[in-house]
Amino acid sequence: MLSVMAQLPQLAVDCQWLRRTIDSSRQDPYAMLCQHIVRDGQDCVGPFLEDVETECGLWQPNAQARARADRQGLGLRAQG
């Protein structure tokens, strides 16, 4: 049987380390920043395309992704 993490799509938008903000100094003002200690403040590796999973090794599910997994019966719990 596959692990729960293998069953949950790893979409960049569902990462607990993602911070979405507006940065008027950029040409595209919508900034997707990584808050993980390793990449703190750098651009998220993404991608932000529907149904395309991220290859980022730092990805962890956010609260919304965990709730969605619970509703789908995957039983995902907060990672420590």
Tokens encoding 73: 């019966």
Q: Which residues, 6+ apart, have CB-to-CB distance to 63 below 8 Å?
A: 16
What is the domain partition of the chain in residue ranges? 4-71
| 76 — pLDDT class (breaks 50, 70, 90) | low
How many CA atoms does the CB half-sphere of 9 hold within 13 Å?
A: 14
- More confident position, 66 or 5: 66
Q: Evaluate whether 11 touches 33 at the Cβ level (below 8 Å).
A: no
- More confident position, 58 or 73: 58
Q: Is 31 helix (H, G, I), strand (E, B) or coil?
A: strand
User: What's the pLDDT score for residue 52?
Assistant: 95
pTM of the model: 0.78
From first CA to last CA, the distance across the chain in angstroms is 23
DSSP state of 29: -
The model's pLDDT over 2-61, given as tens digits with 9 standing for 90+, comes to: 455 557 889 999 999 999 999 999 999 999 999 999 999 999 999 999 889 999 999 999
